[in-house]
Amino acid sequence: MPIIVLSARDTQSDKVDALDAGADDYMTKPFGMDEPLARVRAALRRATPDPPAPVVRTASFVVDLAAKKVERDGVAVRLTPTEWRVLEILVRNTGKLVGQTQLLQEVWGPHFEHETTFLRVYLAQLRRKLEREPAHPRYLITEPGIGYRFEP
């Protein structure tokens, strides 16, 4: 829990003592309400740890989002940066439908939202590298005309 000291005491020694005692921030009067609220938001951002990136395991492969690694049957799989980005978005949205437009915008940018061929090509490459039967995918599922889904 972050600690912010609000005080009328404004000497340097008062501030140093409070910070040395464990305070995360120190504000002296007078101040408007916007500043302490902004300082609370900043302290909470610093105090909130990022959730650990998950490791997703399937019967065929393992995706470690933190290490940015993929292994299939215990062997490292080399992915291109674009393949990784597509897979990462799908894995972070496990079980959810990710629309074609969303994938295109997140991977290639807003000017590529109609380039659905890109998705077909990259999903086919990912399936060849990860699926046991790429022609009958178990994990990287296409919802025709809508988007894609990762099912572990």
- Asked whether 116 and 20 are in contact (CB, 8 A), the reply is no
Q: Is the pLDDT of residue 16 over 80?
A: yes
Q: 113 falls in which pLDDT band (50, 70, 90)?
A: confident
pLDDT reported for residue 42: 87
What would the pLDDT profile of 38-71 be if each residue is shown by its tens digit? 988 888 888 766 666 789 999 999 999 999 999 9
- The domain segmentation of the chain, as residue ranges, is 4-47, 55-150
Mean pLDDT of the chain: 92
Q: What is the largest CA-CA distance in the chain?
A: 72
DSSP result, 15-78: HHHHHHTT-SEEEESS--SHHHHHHHHHHHHHHSPPPPPPEEE-SSEEEETTTTEEEETTEE--
Res 111: pLDDT: 87
Return the CATH class of domain 55-150: mainly alpha
CATH number corresponding to 4-47: 3.40.50.2300
